[in-house]
Amino acid sequence: MLRGAAWIALLGILYVGAPGYGDSSAIRGFFADHVSAERAAEQKLLQIPDAANAEANLRQLTAQPHMAGTEASHRVAQWLLAQYQSYGFDAAIESYSVYLPVPEERELELVEPEKQTLATPEQPYEWDKDTYDARAVPAFNAYSASGEVTAQVVYANYGMMDDYRRLADLGVHVEGKIVIARYGEGFRGVKAQLAEEHKAVALLIYSDPADDGFFAGDPYPRGPWRPMSGIQRGSILYTSKYPGDPLTPGIAATPDAKRLSPAEAKNLPHIPVLPINAQDAGAILSHMGGQNVPRGWQGTLPFTYHLGPGQAVVHLKVKMDYQQRNIYDVIARIHGEDDNSWVVFGNHHDAWVFGAVDPNSGTASMLEAARALGQLTRGGWKPKRTIVFCEWDAEEFGLIGSTEWVEAHQQELQQKALTYVNTDVGVAGPDFSASAVPSLKEFVREVTQSVSDPCAGRSVFEVWKERLAKDAANPTGVARTEPKASADEPVPLGALGAGSDFCPFLDHAGIPAVDMGFGGPYGVYHSQYDDFYWMKHFGDPTFAYHAAMGRIIGVMALRFSSADVMPFDYSAYAKEVSGMVADLQKRAKDAGAAPTASSVAASTAAPTPENVEGDSQKETSGVTVELKPAVDAAAQLAASAERARQSLAVLCSSSVDAARIAEINHALAGVEQAFLAAQGLAGRPWYRHQIYAPGSYTGYESVVIPGVREPLDRKDYVAAQAAVADLADALRRAATQLDAVAQLASSLH
Amino acid sequence: MLRGAAWIALLGILYVGAPGYGDSSAIRGFFADHVSAERAAEQKLLQIPDAANAEANLRQLTAQPHMAGTEASHRVAQWLLAQYQSYGFDAAIESYSVYLPVPEERELELVEPEKQTLATPEQPYEWDKDTYDARAVPAFNAYSASGEVTAQVVYANYGMMDDYRRLADLGVHVEGKIVIARYGEGFRGVKAQLAEEHKAVALLIYSDPADDGFFAGDPYPRGPWRPMSGIQRGSILYTSKYPGDPLTPGIAATPDAKRLSPAEAKNLPHIPVLPINAQDAGAILSHMGGQNVPRGWQGTLPFTYHLGPGQAVVHLKVKMDYQQRNIYDVIARIHGEDDNSWVVFGNHHDAWVFGAVDPNSGTASMLEAARALGQLTRGGWKPKRTIVFCEWDAEEFGLIGSTEWVEAHQQELQQKALTYVNTDVGVAGPDFSASAVPSLKEFVREVTQSVSDPCAGRSVFEVWKERLAKDAANPTGVARTEPKASADEPVPLGALGAGSDFCPFLDHAGIPAVDMGFGGPYGVYHSQYDDFYWMKHFGDPTFAYHAAMGRIIGVMALRFSSADVMPFDYSAYAKEVSGMVADLQKRAKDAGAAPTASSVAASTAAPTPENVEGDSQKETSGVTVELKPAVDAAAQLAASAERARQSLAVLCSSSVDAARIAEINHALAGVEQAFLAAQGLAGRPWYRHQIYAPGSYTGYESVVIPGVREPLDRKDYVAAQAAVADLADALRRAATQLDAVAQLASSLH
């Protein structure tokens, strides 16, 4: 019935621009005469997500530890399957056999200057029975090598690239030593990789209370931050090389897949690595000799930190049980009128322990969105496109469930999937934030204008905007990777890195992606304290934000599945790319690697007597990085995007030819795929996107245009110049794709 | 003999400018033909100060606790008297009877949420017998009121003005509560005054390890920073109102002086105040309820800080024994040819406990300078002017020994004393720094060019300059009040506040002053750990910096006592004053209290059609602060200073008339006295200097031009405007005094 109303034949011009926020007469991607029906469907949907339901579902999901590879994880997948089926989804489990470790032996002791047995467990608290659950996996770093060492210790701050440079400056070397580094400032896998590259014999990673413990705020159970015994588990798979099953890069880990041997896998660590709590770290660090740490390296354990080596000697034994283990993805669909056009939503279901926030708050929210969509469907609504909800397994081990599924269905996905929306840490507090490809940033902002913040009595968007303005004026002590608000961009969205399951979709398959959730003070990440008690006391006691997250996912599903023209804004994308290229030019210039002023002037402007004469003596003969091809290609992309925008803007209901519109929509989504290069990035072919990839040595955070940026930063200007050509090719492919969009659209006028 | 050589009649023009540093052909204030004799005397002097001697003297001075008012302090004075006499000084003790408290009872306990007895003492360490000395006074704040209270606790960060504003913003009030505040960011007396003004019933002041404990560096005995049991003793006398004996403001505390009753004294606190160590503070702070502290208030005790009130209840009892007690200043002289011209050097000898750094490192250095000067004298050298070395008592209680002496001899001092040089914390490490009136800053820099750094093989000046450049490039975590180096001023000296005995000389009597010493990582300030062991292990293990400090004092004494024309640079002074006035103008403008553009334009420039027309609509009628009188007076001062400089520059040996030159020198020193206003600053008449005074609510640090700045900051623009007139008067008096100098000098040409 609702769907019928959408077809009332009021002619209307498509909204592809940006009217005043909350302009109820327009919704991005909808013909004007389809807006009121969409609004009606959205109003209906918004009523459905329910806090009590979300709470009950989270309680169910967090009832027991359910790490990937365990039977508990399989049971969660089966329960999710049943839930989606009960909502009316066409759902199934897809299973893969992947190479997963579980810890078998873990020993840690201080042997000098005094004996002390460490590797102390997370402390239980009597009022939270979950903290007594013997099924919780002891703290470990997945994909640690097995090994046993006794050695002196060196403190390496966060254990990132700059920290090793600083240690070298101070004359401290880690070869043959055990490195102890704190969590933070980058992916733990990069810490392991750097320790290995610097020939350390082992790595201990601990949580300093300066970063997510008492210095940030009250620790659990008084507050939401990490207690002294809390440990951050987590994978150290070298996912910057490739994520997913380490033995089947680029192909699905089906039972009969051709597998590498573990020795051949390029993303497996070779030294033992163990995560420890602050109290164990204190026992080691307080006994260390050597120099005092440089400024900024002192954490807030109650003593003066020293770099070592000397005095403290530690014995570490880690034994891992590596096996092929089955993992279980749940894939649930509401079939649309066009079953060859998919809009995909996802989150993982595996957790290190209970995973109330990570990942189940996202799943509990998705379930409410799914229930709402199911209810609309039962009421007669049918989406234009197929809505796919995915629940991934083994994300925690290295984005494995999603990567294997993308690898298994790559061709079909690239033909059918128009978008992927990820909701991992769905609710850790009341602070909405999102990352997205530039073409979808404004879309995300608009969706959040249609959903109310449960506390503030204003839209999620308004509260988000106010928070960013306040943060910009008065930054908090706790590091956020969130971009900062500015006058130009009051509500910025971040760049997509590799922290969750959007990575294979965007970086490998070129599917336009969004990642989003409500954040907050959350110090119990990957510990046993990330449980139902925590959520009920700190994260979202009323579950109102779970319901709000369900509404956001639901509205997004409605708009993506039913928009006339998919709401991609490639002019915005082109503008961001131009900015990134300009930033690279500046970096090249600052590094002294820019071509001389005269060569730039000569290539960008007609020579004048002044610049020819004045600059003729400044020419240098060194290797430089000429970004002009990329500047030109970005300008071409911007021009093509603008032409496509104009052609699309005059489409309206009267010009509709469903098949042709679908063709346009796939062509539009295909612009993202045009950014992929078949050969991938240098040294890591799995990563094919030329604009977005995790940094090789950041691991979570995106390094934009990594192909150029990373060699530029390490002064390999030959490689950087080669990557400029690949980038320009990709930008031109995207421009050509947009030209095709414009042509298709014009043919419908 | 050396003195004779100085009179070889080579005609030479006086050096009053600034040649290249280290130009051995010129010494500021000396006629060219006197330079080589001065250099010869200096070379002789530089050989004499001896590290072993300094070490032996420091061992003697720190042999036992010697707080002012005790017999031990009297014995130290007698020993110093004997030392100076043995060097050939004409020395005597001058005694005053002052109102001094000693602690009789100190009780502190946590009563809620659990009982815990606090006020724990400083921990002894077996390898340092001094830490077992039962004669050490228990930690107390001198001039605390006696009292007993039981109340909830509020944490007030540093307990300074901004902190109370922030508490009020957060809805937390301290009335009826015990405030706990950490040391740092300002004088502890201001913390007490603010707690009292905000109606707190008591104040606990503790040392947070973030500020001078393990977070700054290794604590004693592993390093030089404050251990967890270390306590900072100290006076809380409201010295911003007036220093010295509280019962005899402005007059000497002779036995028969007319005294106020304690109730009449304006600088005595009225609530009990107790200093405590970090471990006691931890016991209280870790039990507090209320809000989490705002950003920047969290110290590094190992828990999350809360503001209170609530949960924690504390019982405090402080009983003080107030008595009239005798204090003993030692005044030692080498009489010069002109016994009516004095150059004065000083430091205090009383210590809270052993006082190895504070104050005895300064005294041990002064003794080596005195021994050297004595030796020169025995070799036939006689200074032109009388050199006075002073060893003050009861500085720690509130600059009492120096203040009483200045008050006793005010008239004579203002007639005879040309300069005062203070060396309190003489050596805490290898980092030289100094504060001075602007007329003497370049003089100080030049003296440090003539003395070698004991480690670096370059001058103290070069090492100082390099350190400041490095600090500016890479600031340390530990707060320094030291000014920052800049391109304009690569080796800045600070402004004189009120942290030591230069205060009565400069702020009350108008004697040009210098304060200097070698600093370093020094966390044991005012604790029992500031002892010989600390100095021998951390501060100056070889005592080479004590010897260097002795050389600096010695060279300064030679130059001040024997310069032909006193080396004051009033052009530099005028330039700084102009900068200060410009800063006040900017502050007035930023506060919206500046006169309108048109009124400024009208009063500073001839009207042009543009500015008359353009600004006519901008006039406002609010109260403003017009700084133009001060700008004009500062310009007048600059012009007079320049004229005086030119007149003095052409003086030379041939024009010498000793009496006339002495007259010029007294006139030059009198410029500083011209900055005094008879009525003093508003609300604190003891402080008479119009440029320099401790801030009313900073206490240590100088607030320049406080008469204008303080009312301007609190938006009392009427008072600020009145103070502008006083300032302009003072600047004009100084200009007139410089005109007199110029005239005197011209008459000698």
A304 with B217: Cβ contact below 8 A: yes
Residue A298 with chain B: CB contacts under 8 Å:
215, 477
Of the listed ranges A499-503, B195-199, B544-548, the least confidently predicted one is A499-503
Asked if pLDDT for residue A487 goes beyond 70, the answer is yes
**What's the rounded mean pLDDT across residues A15-42?**
77
Determine the topology of domain B45-98+327-449+494-562 in CATH. Answer: Aminopeptidase (3.40.630)
Q: How far is the C-alpha of A370 from the C-alpha of A374, rounded, in Å?
A: 6
pLDDT of residue B655: 64
CB A540 within 8 A of CB A368: no
Judge whether B342 is closer than 8 Å to chain A, CB to CB.
Answer: no
Task: Delimit the domains of chain B by residue range.
Answer: 1-44, 45-98+327-449+494-562, 103-324, 570-748
CA distances from A587 to A303, A583, B116, B146, B627 (A): 40, 6, 59, 65, 47
ipTM, interface predicted TM-score of the complex: 0.86
A477 touches chain B (CB under 8 A): yes
CB contact under 8 A, B302 and A214: yes
Interface contact flag, B215 A300, Cβ < 8 Å: yes
Are the C-beta atoms of residues A365 and A308 closer than 8 Å to each other? no
Count CB-CB contacts under 10 A for residue A25: 12
Residues B155/B191, Cβ–Cβ less than 8 Å: no
What does pLDDT average to over chain B? 92
- Residues of B involved in catalysis: 395
Q: Which amino acid is at A505?
A: F
pLDDT band at A602 (very low <50, low <70, confident <90, very high): very low
Which residues of chain A are within 8 Å of residue B217 when distances are taken between CB atoms? Answer: 292, 304
Lowest mean pLDDT, pick from A653-657, B82-86, B490-494: A653-657
Residues B232, B317: Cα–Cα separation, whole Å = 18
Give the pLDDT band of residue B598 (cuts 50, 70, 90).
Answer: low
Q: How confident is the model at residue B499 (pLDDT cuts 50, 70, 90)?
A: confident
The shortest CB-CB distance from A304 to any of B214, B292, B295 is to B214
B262 or A598: whose pLDDT is higher? B262
Split at pLDDT 50, 70, 90, the class of B484 is: confident
Q: Which of B741, B616, B736, B628 is nearest to B675 (CA)?
A: B736
Q: How far is B229 from chain A (nearest CA, A)?
A: 13
Residue B222 forms contact with A (CB below 8 Å): yes
Mutate to test the interface with B, among A298, A476, A480 (most CBs of B within 10 A): A298
Place B7 in a pLDDT band, splitting at 50, 70 and 90: very low
> What number of CA atoms fall less than 13 Å from residue A175's CA on the CB side?
3
Chain B residues close to A223, C-beta within 8 Å: 292, 304
Contact (Cβ atoms closer than 8 angstroms) between residue B14 and residue B634: no
How confident is the model over A253-280, as pLDDT tens digits?
A: 999 999 999 999 999 999 999 999 999 9
- pLDDT value at residue B560: 98
Q: Of A395, A404, A446, A576, which is the active-site residue?
A: A395
Q: Do the beta carbons of residue A61 and residue A360 sit within 8 Å?
A: yes
Nearest Cα of chain B lies from the Cα of A536 at a distance, in angstroms, of 20
Domain A570-748 listed as CATH 3.30.230.70: no
Q: Which residues of A touch B303 (CB under 8 A)?
A: 214
Asked if B477 lies within 8 A of A295 by C-beta distance, the reply is: yes
Instruction: Give the pLDDT of residue A598.
Output: 55
* Of A215, A292, A476, Cβ closest to residue B217: A292
**Chain B contact set for A477 (CB, 8 A):** 295, 298
Tokens 């970086």 belong to which residue?
A507
Query: What mean pLDDT do residues A333-348 have?
Result: 98
Q: How much is the pTM?
A: 0.89
Q: Is B302 within 8 Å of A209 when comparing Cβ atoms?
A: yes
The topology under which CATH files domain B103-324 is Glucose Oxidase; domain 1 (3.50.30)
Cα R_g (chain A), whole angstroms? 26
Cis check for the bond before B221: say yes or no (omega within 30 of 0): yes
CB-based contact, A303 to chain B, within 8 Å: yes
Nearest-angstrom CA–CA distance, B16 and A323? 86
For the ranges A91-105, A482-496, B477-491, the lowest mean pLDDT is seen at: B477-491
Min Cα distance B218 → chain A (Å) is 5
Question: Which of B223, B304, B474 comes nearest A223 by C-beta?
Answer: B304
Q: What is the pLDDT of residue A163?
A: 97
CB atoms within 10 A of CB A620: 10
Q: For residue B300, which residues of chain A lie inside 8 Å, CB to CB?
A: 215, 300, 302
pLDDT tens profile A115-135: 999 999 999 999 899 999 999
Task: Give the CA distances from residue A229 to residues A209, A523, A526, B464, B492, in Å, rounded to whole numbers and listed in that order.
Answer: 11, 12, 13, 46, 48
Looking at this protein, which amino acid is placed at residue A399?
A: L
Residue B291 forms contact with A (CB below 8 Å): no
A479 has a pLDDT exceeding 80: no
Quick check: A517 and A426 in contact, CB under 8 A? yes
Task: Report, at the CATH architecture level, how domain A2-97+326-562 is classified.
Answer: 3-Layer(aba) Sandwich (3.40)
d(CA A55, CA A61): 10
Q: Where would I find the H helices in A200-288?
A: 209-212, 278-285
pLDDT value at A596 more than 80: no
Q: Which of B222, B292, B300 shows the shortest C-beta gap to A300?
A: B300
Q: What is the pLDDT of residues A414-461, one digit of tens each?
A: 999 999 999 999 999 999 999 999 999 999 999 999 999 999 889 999
Q: Which fold has domain A99-324?
A: Glucose Oxidase; domain 1 (3.50.30)
pLDDT digits (tens, 9 = 90+) for A626-636: 999 999 999 99
Pick the closest to residue B24 from B559, B381, B384, B446 (CA basis).
B446
Sign, CA torsion B424/B426/B429/B434? positive
Q: What is the pLDDT of residue A317?
A: 98
Q: Which of A307-316, A507-516, A636-645, B655-664 bottoms out in mean pLDDT, i.e. has the lowest?
A: B655-664
Check residue B597 and give its pLDDT: 60
Q: What pLDDT, on a 0 to 100 scale, did the predictor assign at position A579? A: 97
Cβ of B222 within 8 Å of Cβ of A304? The answer is yes
- Record: contact B292-A218, CB cut-off 8 A: yes
Q: What is the pLDDT of residues A282-318, one digit of tens each?
A: 999 999 999 999 999 999 999 999 999 989 999 999 9
| B151-179: pLDDT as tens digits | 999 999 999 999 999 999 999 999 999 99
Q: Is A477 helix (H, G, I), strand (E, B) or coil?
A: coil
Across the interface, whether the CB atoms of B217 and A476 are under 8 A apart is answered no
- What string of H, E and C letters represents the secondary structure of A46-90? HCCCCHHHHHHHHHHHCCCCCCCCCHHHHHHHHHHHHHHHHCCCE
Is A169 in CB contact (< 8 Å) with chain B?
no
Mean pLDDT for chain A overall? 92
Contact B218 A477 (CB under 8 A): no
Alpha carbon distance, N-terminus to C-terminus of chain B: 29
Mutate to test the interface with B, among A211, A225, A226, A300 (most CBs of B within 10 A): A300
Q: Is the pLDDT at B387 greater than 80, yes or no?
A: yes
Closest listed residue to residue A244, CA positions, set A432, A29, A395, A78: A395
CA distance A624 to chain B (A): 30
pLDDT of residue A63 exceeding 70: yes
How far is A529 from A122, CA to CA, in rounded Å? 9
How far apart (Å, rounded) are the C-alpha atoms in residues A519 and B398?
53
Helix (H, G, I), strand (E, B) or coil at B400: helix
Between chains, do A214 and B477 touch, taking CB under 8 Å as contact? no
Chain A residue with CA closest to B279: the answer is A302
Mean pLDDT of A698-706: 82
Q: What is the pLDDT of residues A96-112, one digit of tens each?
A: 999 999 999 999 999 99
